[in-house]
Amino acid sequence: MSLVTSLLDQAERTPEKAALIAGDGTALTYGELRSQVLAVRDGFLSAGLAPGDGVLFSVRPSPQALVLALGVVAARGVVVFADPGAGPEMFEARLRLAAPRWSAAESLLYAASRIGPVRSFARRKGLLLPNLSELPLQHVYTGRWLPGVPRGAHRLKDWLRASPDRGTEDASDPDAPAVVIFTSGTTSAPRAVVHTQASLAAGLELFRSRVPLGPGDVVHTDQLMLGLPTLIAGACWSMPRLFCPPEEFLEQMEERKATHTFCVPVHLAEILDAAEDGLPPGLRHVLLGAAPAPAGILRRAVAAAPEAEVLSVYAMTEIVPVAVASAREKLAHTGGGDLLGEPLPGISVRVADDGELLLGGPNLCKGYLGDPDHAELATGDLARMEGGRLVLLGRKKDMLIRGKFNLYPGLYEPAITALDGVREAAIVGVPEPETGDEEVVLAVVGTVPEGELRRRLGEVLDAEALPDRIVYLPELPFSGRGRKLDRALLRRLVA
């Protein structure tokens, strides 16, 4: 059974129950969700979408975005997340690789990429948009019509008004591409992860095996890979608006009686700052992911939600999830590196001779777009197995060279952030032209005096890993939706 069919079957069993509540209060029952997904599927099929057609997807997270994406997959199309905000050159490179036949975007984006004053305003905000309306594709738009929407574009609202005229029989190939997600690369060699319905469904089942979900639960998150298992389990997905302030996020958790929430560590820290009386009662699980969770944030989360299980999820776009560790396990770990936890059932783990972590499993993506399929993922992470549990040592590309010593920041940063008075810490290297080595710089957000910090560093770090220089910053730089540490920018800040 495919992922979409599993969701539609659940919707058919509980049509009157709330499936999704958006940030603005817009709600969908399971019956409405099922009807709308099937209506969008029928709209695409009637308009000529063929199996395997790519649909360039440029719609912000919302109930309509979810319905649109599920409708594409139900019609045997492929959702292509190419991020038009990546800049025109990168966008065009991704477009050439993906070769979509369709574009699905908000009418505002079409207008912003076509109308001069709107385009100029977006450019002043640092957003260089491609001209979507001129792409030689079939177009579907959400929202009301605006100047710039291509002539002949299909309006999603019209499809949603129609009643589904086809059954729910599942004719899709679970091993065919369903989603394409661009993650990295350059304009000359963009990289995109290809997932199938089978790999996504396997990942969702693995997630549910570790984090129980069921009717009556309310999951507050904007993350699709937590929202989908919520819906398949018959629970309610509470979807905050994109980039909503922490006060609003917290208020909605309280109003909707959330039982689960997922945040990136930086966002959770902001929410905890706003939660003077702790996180709302009734929370059973607080999940963290997308970036390593500093010890300080883990301690604060445990204190703010003492009845909840605080979990850190290790995953990559290519394979979701891999391992889950509780905050208490991570805080108790003293062996160096970042404890990731025991690999989930079915995940195969291998550590290469150079220490790189290699992963496989039923939730592994099909491969990278344009490349042969692969059965094992070279993660770029350095790790070791310790008592059946994974310990992350850092990224291969972050390695610093100090004489004959190779310094991996990820091996030591967790121990530094666990020190009292340290909120965040990161190690970067600044090249030394004369020696060819790198000056090791420790960037710290915290209140501990430098003399005391140096004394305590000697207790938790190898002598070769002690920093040449310590720089105090008001905050570390983060980037992207996952709010990951931007080491390149950090190097420039401390140089």
Q: Which residues contact 40 (CB under 8 A, 6 or more apart)?
A: 67, 68, 70, 71, 72, 74, 75, 156, 159, 160
Domain assignment of residue 150, yes or no: yes
Flag residues of the chain having pLDDT under 50. Answer: 125
Do the domain assignments include residue 470? yes
Question: Can you read off the two tokens belonging to residue 2?
Answer: 């495919």
Flag whether 248 is in a domain. no
User: How do beta strands 348-351 and 154-155 pair?
Assistant: unpaired
The CATH number of whichever domain residue 445 belongs to comes to: 3.30.300.30
- Structure-block tokens of residue 427: 């190690």
Domain termination site, one of 172, 202, 223? 172
**Is 0.85 topped by the overall pTM?**
no
Domain extent at residue 98? 3-172
Instruction: Note whether residue 263 is domain-resident.
Output: no
Can you give the pLDDT at residue 265? 85
Tell me, what CATH number does 93's domain have?
Answer: 3.40.50.12780
Distance CA 495, CA 489 (A): 10
What pLDDT does 141 receive? 94
Residue 357, pLDDT score: 95
C-beta of residue 197 within 8 angstroms of C-beta of residue 4: yes
CA pseudo-torsion sign 340, 345, 346, 349: positive
List CB contacts of 125: < 8 A, sequence separation 6 or more: none
Q: Which amino acid is at 46?
A: S
**N-terminal to C-terminal alpha carbon distance within the chain:** 54
What's the total number of domains in the chain? 2
Q: Is residue 281 part of a domain?
A: no
Do the Cβ atoms of 66 and 40 come closer than 8 Å?
A: no
CA–CA dist 272, 263 (Å, integer):
11
For position 100, what pLDDT does the model report? 96
